[in-house]
Structure formats: C-alpha cells, structure tokens
Structure 1
C-alpha cells in the first residue's frame, strides 16, 4: 500500500492510570521518514470509579472474569468519549485511531506458567467499540507483535523520537517521565540500529503513590511538597541497590516492579529515618532523578562520542519543578542542555499519544513500527491489530 497523508488520533493511558491523552496528528509521507504535525492535544482524567477499577485490576491477586470483561469494555467507552470530545472541540476530521490501551500486566521476560515459559503483556480497552463509536478504523494491541519476535514489547515510542528529533550534529536523549521513566538515545547522525532505548525505572509512579498515602493528593503538583523536604541519603543509597538499575539494556519495567509494594517499601524505610512526610516525598523524587541520571551515565553517555547533547524531557514529570531541578544539577555538569519537547513543537504531555498515532499510521501502511535495537526484537515487525468501523 502506497503511504498517504492521514489525520490520526493517538490515544494513550499510561502506567500512572490517571487518565487519557489524545493527540490529533497529521502524518505525511516523505522521503526517508514521515512528517508529523501536531494539530491538537487534550487530556482527560479518569472518572474516580474507573480509576479505582483500573488500579484494582493492576494490583489484584485475584479477580473475576466478569470484572475484567467489564473493565475492558468500560475503558473502550472512555477512549471513544475522549477522542470524540477532542475531535469535536477542534473540529478535525480523523481517518484513523491508534489506541495503546491501559496496561494491566506486562511481563517482558519469560517466566514459567502452566507447563511453559514465555513472556506476556495485556493492554485493556475494547478497540472494536472505539471503532464503532467513532466510525473509523482503530489500531490497538501494539506490543505483542514485537514480543513474538523476541522483543520486550517496550519501549515503542523511540519510533517517534527518531522521526521527530534525530539530528546530524547533536546527540539527543528523549526522556519520558510518566508512571515509568524511559529514554531514547539518538547519537548524532543516528539511523536505524544506532538508536537505542530502555526504561530507566520509576517515573511519577512512586512519587504519586506517596503523595496519595501521605497527603491525600493524587500527585505532588510542581514538586512543591518534595521541595519542602530533605532527601534521606542513606535510604536513597539503599533503594538504588535494586538489581533492576544494573540491568543492561534493552530492559523494560512497570507497575509489577515499581508499583504499590515498592512504594510501601520505600515509605517504610523513610519512616525509620525521619518523621517528616515531606522527606519521604523528596526521597522518592530523588529516586526518579538518580535512576535517570545513573542510567544515562552508565549506558548512554559513553556512546554519545562527545557531541553536544540535548536532554529533552516529556511526560507529566516535565511539570515537576523539583524533579527537573534535580535533573539539571546532575546532567548539566555532564555537558547536557536540559529542555522539554515544547520548543520542538510537541507539548510534554502529547508525545506518547502522538507516538501511537504514528505507529497506527505505520501499521495501516503495513510498515514496521518497532525499533529492534530499542526493544531487543530479532527483526522489525508490523505492530498492532486493526478493528474496522
């Protein structure tokens, strides 16, 4: 199929499970790589009851098939409502939808179950319902195709990073800080197998968990609470000994590793060291910053060949002033210029949803959407499944 220009809605709900981001993107074929123009972006909070259901499913040790089926369809309704509201608000006619879905479980490495060892993943949200509601095809369930050819099913956003941000003379690191933090490294002049990416560790997930437990807030707005606390250095040193931070890329992680139980472990250690709850939040914020910087210095910096490095942050963490200050203190002495995606025409909260718009466009045109050097796949793969209207 010859690639054609399309307007695609990208839909993303991340591991923070706080809501839905929708990006409307015009994608035009061009020599070498497609061109993207962001037309609009909107964010929608999950209704409280839906968020409770999502978190309960993520953390459940047991549940029922009825609950999971209902959640799958309820999420489909939520995605359709979010796309419909965005299209109506901006009077844009879309041709296609790329919907990531809500990750309920992601096991990137093989584990033994019922007589076999395998990796697996599950993103909920009934795509057929979204297609029927919107009257256009929907591409969904992107991760399994990469996993079946030996990849970890993540990260997938490096495709967008390469298309939009690679530069012939400057090294660039695209750092997304959602529930989980992940980076894409683009050495100067990088192409194809020179691009690499991996999850650095917790992003906002642990910070949000402690903000809710200690202050009854869904998140620490602008990092204001953490700014009032002190980082508990011994606790931070101990928590950074987690084996995950020493794993070589490609690597991916999720709520299974850095979710509720991990947040409880960190909080328990902080309470032994300090009675101030602000100190726990400051330490959780420092954990995100230190794991990002440690990943960069250990695995990325040696491959950048001393080119100028733009360190470009996206995701909700880009709005956390305290976290960004911690990153700047560590990264700028290493020769990095810390910025966000806004100067490049992409709002920090829109990048991941725009990435799934691009992946849907690739799938529609039967083009591979993974980058094997990022996911560890043996070969490029066409991602996702198409639900027709």
Structure 2
C-alpha cells in the first residue's frame, strides 16, 4: 500500500487530542479538571457522540456510552505521547469505582499527515514507546481528507469522526502558521512541565531522613501552584530503611572521635544511593512513572549541626549526594536547604515552618504543629496569622534519647521502645528527671535549634550512668526519659508561646509511642485549658511532603526561611539545584 502525504509539514510539534468515553457524561467535570491541569487549556470540544460501534466496554462501564473529543492548545513534542498515556491511565484508575472504570481516556496526537493514538495493547503494526505504551497510526491524511487503514477502529472510520479530525487538523495548521519559528515554540508539554510559575500540577518526591537515621521517608506529592496558592496532595509515601551496616557507619560519623574524612566521603555517596532507591520505590508502589516526576526535594541526612549558639563557626552538614540522586533517577534535585540560612546568621532550622504556614494556617483556631522525630520541634501558628507571627523552634530531645537509652540497656537487642511498652512498665524517677532538666539548652530562648551534638549518644550514656548511680531500673529509666521528652515540649509551650493553644497536632515517629503520647496529652490538658492533642493524618510523611513543597518554592525563586524563626538577618531562597543530568524525552 502506498501512502501519499499532501501538504505535510514538520512534526517537531504536534497537537494533542483526547477521546473520553463514559456512560455518565454529566459527571465529567472532575476528570476534565485533572486533564486540563496536566495538559493545559482546551481549544476544541465536540458534543457528546453516541458510541455504538461495539459492546466491548458495556460490561465494565455500562450501557448508553457516549464519546467526546477535545484538543489542546499547547503543542507537544511527539515523544511525550507515552508520558501522557501514563497520566491518563492513572486518572482512569483514580476515578474508577469498584475496580471498574468510569471513564475511558484515549490520548493521541494529530499532525498534518496522520492521527496517532496511544495504547497499552501490542500488535504487529504498533510501535513501542516506553512504560508499556505503544503508538498506532490510526488515520492518514491523503488528498483532501483523513483515510482509514486496515486496522482502524470502526468508529474512527465514520464520517462524523473524520470530519472532527479534519477540523482539528485545520486548527493545528493555523496554529503552526502563527509560530515564527518552530524551534522557539514553548507551548509543548515538556516545557510546560518545567514552567513552575504557571498554575499547573506538578509531581514531586520529597526525601527526608531525620536525626534518628532509621531510614528515608519518601513522599510522592501532587503540587499545584506556589506560595500562598499552594495546593499539595499526598499520593503515596514509604519509609525505606537504611541497611544495618550503612546505618552503623552513619552513627559512627556522628561521633567526632570515630569519624574520618575518607569515610564521610564514601558514606555521602552511599546515602545518596539509598535516597535514590527510596525515590524509585515510592513511585513503584504508587504505580507511577519516574519520568512523570518533575523534581525531587531531598533534605539529606544531617551529620553535624553547629548553630550560632555553639562554640566554633556556625555550620551544618547534610549528606546524601544530590548528583547521585539526580543521575540514578534522571530527575532534577533540590537539596541542602539549611546552609543559606546559616550563611545569613540564622540557625538553619527549623525550615519546615514556612510550609506549615502555607498548609495549616487557619482563621478559627491556633495550632501547635509538634513534630517528634529524633529532635522535637514545634511550629505554632496563631489564628489569622501572618508569616511573621509564627513561632517555631527545637524544644529538645524527641525519640533520640529514648532510642539511644533502650539500645544501651538492651546491649543493642532493641533499637527503639515499640509502642512505649518498656516505658509503660516503669515509673518516672524524680531525681533522674531533675538532672535531665538542668540541661543548658532548655533555658535558651528562641530562635534556637539543636541536634545529636547535644542530645545524642554521649548524652544517653551519661544518663544511663546517672541512672545506675541512683539505682534506677531499666524500665524506670525508659519511663523517665520518655516523660522528659514530653515535659520539655510542654514547658517550652509555657515559656515561649504567649497565646492560647487550641490544638496540638503531632507528627513524626514519636506519634507511634503510646506512652509518650499519653504523657503529652496528660501534661498538655493539665496545663492548657480546652486543648486537644491529635495525631496528624500524614504523620509519618509530613516532613518528606514539606521538602517536596520547599523544592517547588526554590524552583520558582521564593524565599522560604523565616527570619523571626531562624534568626537570620533576612529572607533568602533555600536549597541548591542539581539539574537533570541529561534530557530524556
């Protein structure tokens, strides 16, 4: 069969189209909103057309099916077709009910010479793209119209469909004539996804490993907008554990007397590999395609933190080489969020309060967002708050002292007190609690931050030694350090938050410790009138989500440190950008 192509022009940019099939055409607003968020504005839309060419879809989608075609004003690179099909596959699954599709979405593109559709089914006449997606030339343009091929679907052969595609083709040709140079056309799908100033939806991965260093929290996040218009939705999260040998090497680096420069150099790259694996794992669990991820925000693993209140040059070090993450995922990475604030005289911590304000500020009530990781930190947002009204600081130890203590007393048999069971079996020892409460950090005013340097292994060893001198049992010791964590939290509220607290919302690993949570509720309710203590719905992923959002803000050039929180002399953009190593279309 010979095919002639009259008036064929360059196919560097092509026009995306979509066919939507459903039995509920009056319920398409939500799916169209998602589609437009992905592909941009629609410039052509047909009426609903009865679908009568086959009964194939009726068992799954119901009778009286109808189809509608739309085309998009943003031209795309044809190699993006598989990416678009991955998006529509995800949307089909998202809007399905009882494992049955409500909408069938058929994306494709149109050129002056042909109509190409994307499919997941493989036949001899189809060409493989990637991610299980194939391309089929469904119609060719010859003479003065589109013509079917031997494999063309019956409905696509009908005069109604052919006239629709001829109208879209003419719109496409008119569009091309208005572009001075195809090389300068910036309306394509790929460029749109990198234009983060637009109010389009992006997909990002946030990566975080806290001071407990038990693994990497990875969060796949959908983000729309930026700044005060930010809308973020968690799609999937996972905790990807460190291999035990690597975790021990990280802990050795925490001890200045055991760490060496060559070991630091190696572990930096090894941690980067684990972060990349965590990013890959979360998209696999979500049945997502890594190529659809716009960027990654990586906090890294803190090894040492010296805020301005410590002796020596203020500095901080987070490892987990961003170039390793970028090369293994082929996604751009934003990392090293803390150093810019320290360079301006700040503590470099906490940096999450900016995100807390974007997501959680309310007009009706004041909220304390209490994260209990290795270190405990709080963001207090008064009702009707402005960014400069936020109060945030590290209150002291979180799980760090509890984890280290149980590891010492069990000779490494336990790494943490699961559910707070061991602490629940003991009683708080007042003498030991008094010693702990004399730590000088607890008397410092905000802005302030702390870390393993103050409340790490050495502090835990000294606490265990003091417990032995006082004859304190292991269970009583765990009960005391657990109570100490919650007491420092509530005491800091009393000393540094001169507002009514309506709600305490807890996140981090400490939210899983029942004894700790019971202590916190009891102390808070005894101290503050009508306060409620709840666990954040996204407790485990909260900080990973935050670094995805912070990366988004970095890429649009927004300052995200809060000088009233960190003590820096002025606002600044946080993070360093590692670009995608090479572009894969």
TM-score range, shorter chain: over 0.9
Q: 2:454 aligns with which of 257, 264, 282?
A: 257
2:300 aligned with 1:101: yes
Q: Which residue of 1 aligns with 2:332?
A: 137
Deviation at 1:376, TM superposition (A): 1.2
1:80-99 pair list within 5 angstroms: 80-92=276-288, 93-99=292-298
Deviation at 1:274, TM superposition (A): 2.8
Structure 2: 5+ residue runs without aligned partners?
A: 1-195, 581-585
Q: Which residue of 1 aligns with 2:206?
A: 10
Mean Cα deviation higher: 368-377 or 128-137: 368-377
Q: Distance in 1 between matches of 2:281 and 2:205?
A: 12
3-state SS of 2:235 partner = strand
Mean Cα deviation higher: 262-271 or 41-50: 262-271
Q: Which residue of 1 aligns with 2:271?
A: 75
Mean Cα deviation higher: 139-148 or 56-65: 56-65
Distance 1:112 1:233, change over 3 A: closer
Deviation at 1:5, TM superposition (A): 2.7
Q: What's the TM-score once normalised by structure 1's chain length?
A: 0.94
Q: Which has the higher contact order (CA 8 A, sep 6+)?
A: 1
Deviation at 1:265, TM superposition (A): 1.4
Q: Distance in 1 between matches of 2:253 and 2:286?
A: 34
Instruction: Output the aligned Cα RMSD.
Output: 1.4
Deviation at 1:241, TM superposition (A): 1.4
Q: Which residue of 2 aligns with 1:320?
A: 513
1:345-384 pair list within 5 angstroms: 347-384=538-575
3-state SS of 2:246 partner = helix
Q: What's the TM-score once normalised by structure 2's chain length?
A: 0.63
Q: Which residue of 1 aligns with 2:393?
A: 198
2:439 aligned with 1:242: yes
Mean Cα deviation higher: 188-197 or 369-378: 369-378
Deviations 1:334-355 (A, max 9, x none): 121000111xxxx211001111
1:162-201 pair list within 5 angstroms: 162-201=357-396
Mapped contact 1:232–1:273 kept (Cα < 8 A): no
Q: How many residues align?
A: 377
Mapped contact 1:271–1:280 kept (Cα < 8 A): no
3-state SS of 1:162 partner = helix
Mapped contact 2:300–2:335 kept (Cα < 8 A): yes
Mapped contact 1:178–1:316 kept (Cα < 8 A): yes
Mapped contact 1:178–1:315 kept (Cα < 8 A): yes
1:120-159 pair list within 5 angstroms: 120-159=315-354
Q: Distance in 1 between matches of 2:533 and 2:311?
A: 42
Q: Which residue of 2 aligns with 1:331?
A: 524
Q: Distance in 1 between matches of 2:226 and 2:440?
A: 43
Mapped contact 2:345–2:567 kept (Cα < 8 A): yes
3-state SS of 1:350 partner = helix
Q: Which residue of 2 aligns with 1:281?
A: 478
Deviations 1:173-202 (A, max 9, x none): 000000000000101111110012000000
3-state SS of 1:349 partner = helix
Q: Distance in 1 between matches of 2:350 and 2:417?
A: 26
Deviation at 1:357, TM superposition (A): 0.5
Q: Distance in 2 between matches of 1:8 and 1:293?
A: 35
Q: Which residue of 1 aligns with 2:426?
A: 229
2:227 aligned with 1:22: no
Mapped contact 2:197–2:226 kept (Cα < 8 A): no
Q: Which residue of 1 aligns with 2:235?
A: 39
Mapped contact 1:225–1:278 kept (Cα < 8 A): yes
Q: Distance in 2 between matches of 1:269 and 1:99?
A: 39
Mean Cα deviation higher: 185-194 or 28-37: 28-37
Q: Distance in 1 between matches of 2:220 and 2:560?
A: 19
Deviation at 1:272, TM superposition (A): 2.0
Larger radius of gyration: 2
